Homo-oligomer: A and B are copies of this chain.
Amino acid sequence: MQIQKKFKIAIDVMGGDYAPVNEIEGVFLAAQFMKKKLNFEIVFVGNEDLIASHLKKYDFSGVRYSIFHTTEVITMNDDPTSAFKNKRDSSIYKGMELLKNKEVDAFLSAGNTGAMLSIATLMLGRIKGVSRPTIGTFFPTMTKNPTLILDVGANVDCKPQFLYEFAIMGEIYYKLMLNKPKPNIGLLNIGEEKTKGNEAALETYTLLEKSNINFYGNIEGRDIFKGVVDVVVCDGFTGNIVLKFAESFLNFFKHKVKSYAEKSLLNKIKVLGIKPTLKNIMKGFDYQDYGGVPLLGVNGIVMISHGSSSPKAVQNMIFRTIEVLEKELNLNIENAIKNK
């Protein structure tokens, strides 16, 4: 019998909008779900007393865990660079240090993404050959597979070389996560033709075209949900705007339903009748389901998730972390970058 590898995962329990509740409950859910196959051990990083008081609420028997006490918190409003300099006893700083010193295999946070990015890059360094670490997100599509879009905000001004490297990292991540040997990559642009787009897009097209990536060509905004390609490459300015815009769609839809219901009693009754069906239809629009995403290109497995992550999202982030560790994401990125 093969001996199952056990991973040690540190989680920032001070970062998310509902910290530490959702983080601790998310870990609990993940452990419960895995039961006897439990192959991780958790380090809760944050205020000791706070963590202890919340841990009491759950039955953590059978789960190996420890608490790493920290006294500071990097908030959503903290500037990443000054947070790195001035909050050295924060959960993010200390968690990253645990990872750097190889005391844990991965570090997770639903906290300040900018701070996670900066501190990870500064402390862990970049994988050899990577100019800029990047963050990608899965979007639901009309096909059975999601589309990975990257960058979604880590790099606002992108040289073509950065976009080219995002394509390579995206290809590897998609390949490993979706078990698709040769995912195709599209460049987000304003037209299909090679001659379309801004300066960065035009140059990136040329780079991708002559690479050995499975390059589909340009795709447009309307092609994202169609699932025309597996991986969409764009600068982090465009990607961040598209991501936040997409996330608002569900709320807009809910608002439309609500306004309709408010027009008359008859409408209200109609809406009550269709709500359960609507809920089923809209499944998959909820970005919570996707959990966390890795920061691609840094020396270490760093997972980040939405500030408003639910316990279920935290649970999914843990599952994704284990998958990323088992599949040796970073070793694969290193090799891919080396060979291109």
Taken residue by residue from 182 to 204, chain A's Cβ proximity to chain B (1 for < 8 Å, 0 otherwise) reads as 00000011100001011101000
Helix, strand, loop or mixed for chain A's interface?
helix
Check if A297 is an interface residue, CB within 8 A of chain B: no
Residue of B nearest to A196 (CB): B156
Residues of chain A at interface, number, CB under 8 A: 54
Check if A240 is an interface residue, CB within 8 A of chain B: yes
Residue of B nearest to A225 (CB): B252
Q: Are A190 and B241 in contact (CB under 8 A)?
A: yes
Q: Are B240 and A221 in contact (CB under 8 A)?
A: yes
A199 partner residues in chain B, CB cutoff 8 A: 157
Contact flag A277-B274 (CB < 8 Å), given A222-B248, A224-B248, A248-B222:
yes
Taken residue by residue from 310 to 337, chain A's Cβ proximity to chain B (1 for < 8 Å, 0 otherwise) reads as 0000000000000000000000000000
Q: How far is the CB of A138 from chain B (nearest CB, A)?
A: 15
Check if A255 is an interface residue, CB within 8 A of chain B: yes
Taken residue by residue from 77 to 104, chain A's Cβ proximity to chain B (1 for < 8 Å, 0 otherwise) reads as 0010000000000000000000000000
> Which residues from 234 to 259 on chain A have a C-beta closer than 8 Å to any C-beta of chain B?
234-238, 240-249, 251-253, 255-257
Q: Are A225 and B241 in contact (CB under 8 A)?
A: no
Q: Are A241 and B260 in contact (CB under 8 A)?
A: no
Q: Are B142 and A237 in contact (CB under 8 A)?
A: no
Q: How far is the CB of A71 from chain B (nearest CB, A)?
A: 26
| A-B complex: 3 closest residue pairs judged by Cβ atoms | A221-B244, A221-B245, A156-B198
* Beyond A221-B240, A225-B248, A273-B274, 7 extra complex contacts between A and B, CB < 8 Å: A142-B252, A156-B198, A190-B237, A222-B247, A226-B248, A234-B241, A249-B249
